[in-house]
Amino acid sequence: MNKPFIIGIAGGSGSGKTFFLKCFLQHFKEEEVCLVSQDDYYIPVAHNMTPEENKHYNFDLPRTIDHEHFQKDISDLLNGKTIYKKEYTFNNPNAVPKILEIKPAPIIIVEGLFILHFRDIAELLNLKIFINADEEIALKRRLNRDLVERGYSNDDVMYKWLHHVVPAYKEYLLPFKDECQKVITNNTHVIDDIVAITEEISKELKDLLKGN
């Protein structure tokens, strides 16, 4: 193929998108695929805030993403260029971000909440995958992640869920569900189920690429 095949994977918080992506990548060799994550394009505005202010800063808005840089890096990969990007550290001032080297590959995966909302990016996608989960299951996963892994209080997590996460999902992602070729409901988080789905999609994709 003259151009790489580009896949967009979108899903709301707690949908299991990261888990799905991890399983999906296991079906490919390192040189066959590269990944560009929207999270690495957050504008570091919160670095000037106190931790207390940070907790309620709304990161679930498109304007928190350096959209121009995000789109340019995807275009560079499509044109065979290697990109270098500072890793996102979730606004942790004590973390030292790595410099990510992302090399072009026959398959480019772009993932994030706003990849379908950013229409110039959405138009680049050859295959759009929407990861879905029931709201109560997604909330349970979000609580587990933020309470255990990130040390937030229950009140902080619930405030963000009700005022940031759910409104963003409904406004910036859900309206584009019907334009996705693959819609996957991930309520069980059973490894075998997700592996089977990712294996099926990866086989379809490899067959398609061989045909081209």
Q: How far apart are CA 67 and CA 52, in angstroms?
A: 27
Which domains are delineated in the chain?
5-211 (3.40.50.300)
The residue ranges of DSSP E strands in the chain, in sequence order, are 5-11, 33-37, 83-86, 99-102, 107-111, 127-132, 182-185
Full-model pTM: 0.89
Position 211 pLDDT exceeds 70: no
Q: What is the pLDDT of residues 15-67, one digit of tens each?
A: 989 889 999 999 999 999 999 999 999 987 655 555 555 567 788 999 999 99
Chain centre distance of CA 88: 13
Q: Which residues contact 81 (CB under 8 A, 6 or more apart)?
A: 104
**Cα(155)–Cα(149) distance, integer angstroms:** 16
Dist. CA 158–CA 144, nearest whole Å: 12
